[in-house]
Amino acid sequence: MENQNYHMSPEQFRTEGKKIIDWIADYYENIEKYPVLSQVKPGEIISSLPNHPPQKGESMEQMMQDIDEKIMPGITHWQSPNFFAYFPSNTSFPSILGDLVSSGLGVQGMIWATSPAATEVETRVLDWLAEMMGMPEKFKSTSSGGGVIQDTASTSALTAVIAARERATQYESNKTGVRQKLVAYISTQTHSSLEKAIKMAGIGKDNLRLIDVDETFAMLPEVLESQIQKDKKDGLQPFFICGALGTTSSNAMDPLREIGEIANKENCWFHIDAAMSGTAMVCPEFRHLMDGVELADSYCFNPHKWMFTNFDCDVFWVANRNELINTFSILPEYLKNKATESGAVFDYRDWHVQLGRRFRSLKLWFVIRHYGVEGLQFHIRKHVELTRTFTNWINESDDFELVVEPPLNLVCFRHKSGDDFNMKLMNAINETGKLFFTHTKLNDQIVLRMSIGQTNTEEEHVKAAWEMIVAKAKEFSL
């Protein structure tokens, strides 16, 4: 049989890799030429792709041609400076390069021994972040807790719920199954990932209490307290409470100190979900929003939302790492090694659901080292300032109204002409491809959302967006 080698050689990789770096740079230089929201119809992309895989390998030139002609029409451009939908999922060139190095090394960092650097860089970088954001000492690796990178805040929520379940049952649930009298508490505005976590952990949706919110859509502590006492009277066991540092729908800030005090008094695990807004804690002037954080058992935020770090990268801090390790630790024979047995290292596969793990901390390391604390603060403050500018335009308008005062970088507003008008307005603008924004429902009304946090968004983009919204609204009103 003829000796064949189908691999790409280092020299070929060098040549093609440089072309792809150029392609990415060109993409960012021309990103505003693309419609922000993909304009394709369902099935359009898949119908352009062959039904069967190629029998013989194809050239990179052919593949990149298909990227341009078949893939790019189906991309919604999250990195566009005119992307104002959902929440930021921003990235930056340092992050992309860090991720490239991670991919190139191809590390599987499940335990310390499989690549010590993958573990120790992660530990150091998350301690850096704890310092940068004014987090309590207990969340650092040098204390009782520490940080670990998860894929998303949803996985952090599941991790926290399972650890809370085990603490509440003295680790019996891991042995004999879930006791159905456990009850968890979130607000009506808390992200749906918490409900999913409660289902996946075997607690059950019927054992999840949704607590009412105030006029700013923040959880009402007195309602939480009342519900807990009712459940205890009914023979149930409260075990988990989640507070939001910025809800997805409206960026509402729960009163963390009051919730935390209730959680501590009732021996409930207190988890804080700061998915997007946590990044703002790099700026000292916003840290009043996390008053009470020292009462938390766990806390997560997403650098992949607003810290210029590409998806996926969620930081999960815990106050007592032993509670995680006791919940998730397994040690099959093939993973036994001297370093683990010494107890001198972290094996991060024992800190979360998945066993295998990428070298995600490299991209975060690149970002922090490139921008520095000052650079990150500069861009976060700029986004908040742009949000305030947009808010002022709404307040000066006769046709639009602000629904809730924005604490950071999300503006919730609406046209005064009603729900149908607002949906028609948003859809018509999004269909132009010039910008993309989304809606939510608050107080049973359709509310438009402008999330301002993309890496390259400047005042000119925000101004153009507002002018287009105003112009289209006038056009519909005629």
pLDDT tens per residue, range 147-161: 999 999 889 999 999
* 142 against 332, higher pLDDT: 142
Give bridge partners of residue 451 from the DSSP assignment: 410
**pLDDT, position 340:** 62
Residue for token digits 């925000």?
462
Of 435, 465, 438, the C-alpha closest to 449 is 438
pTM for the full model?
0.92
In the prediction, which pLDDT does 175 show? 78
pLDDT tens digits for range 109-140: 888 888 889 999 999 999 999 999 999 999 99
pLDDT given for residue 1 in this prediction? 47
Burial of 336 per CB tally in 10 Å (0-12, 13-18, 19+): exposed
**What distance in Å separates the CA atoms of residue 167 and residue 162, rounded to the nearest whole number?**
9
Q: Is residue 65 part of a domain?
A: no
State the average pLDDT over residues 154-174.
90
In a domain, 381, yes or no: no
Query: In this model, does residue 179 exceed pLDDT 70?
Result: no
Domain that holds residue 134: 107-358
At residue 331 the predicted structure's pLDDT band, cuts being 50, 70 and 90, is low
Domain for residue 441, yes or no?
Answer: no
Q: Which pLDDT score, from 0 to 100, does residue 333 have?
A: 56
Cα(186)–Cα(50) distance, integer angstroms: 46
CA distances from 477 to 221, 399, 416, 463 (A): 43, 10, 11, 21
Share the mean pLDDT of the chain.
Answer: 92
pLDDT at 458: 96
Strand ranges for 234-392 from DSSP E: 237-244, 269-273, 298-301, 314-318
Check whether 213 has a pLDDT greater than 70.
Answer: yes
89 pLDDT band (50/70/90 cuts)? very high
Distance between the two ends of the chain, CA-based, in angstroms? Answer: 77
Please write the tens of the pLDDT for every residue from 452-476: 999 999 999 999 999 999 999 999 8
Number of domains in the chain: 1
* CATH code for the domain in which residue 300 is found: 3.40.640.10
Which range (89-98, 207-216, 343-352, 405-414) has the least confidence?
A: 343-352
Confidence of residue 354 (pLDDT cuts 50, 70, 90): confident
> Percentage of residues in the chain with pLDDT exceeding 90?
80
Please check whether residue 278 is in contact with residue 302, taking contact to mean a CB–CB distance below 8 angstroms: yes
**From 83-87, 192-196, 394-398, 466-470, the region with the lowest mean pLDDT:** 192-196
451 assigned to some structural domain: no
Count Cα neighbours of 18 within 13 Å in the Cβ-side half-sphere. Answer: 5
438-442 and 445-451 strand pairing: antiparallel
User: Is residue 330 scored above 80 in pLDDT?
Assistant: no
Cα 225–Cα 227–Cα 231 angle in degrees, nearest 5: 120
Q: Which of 136-145, 192-201, 353-362 has the highest mean pLDDT?
A: 136-145
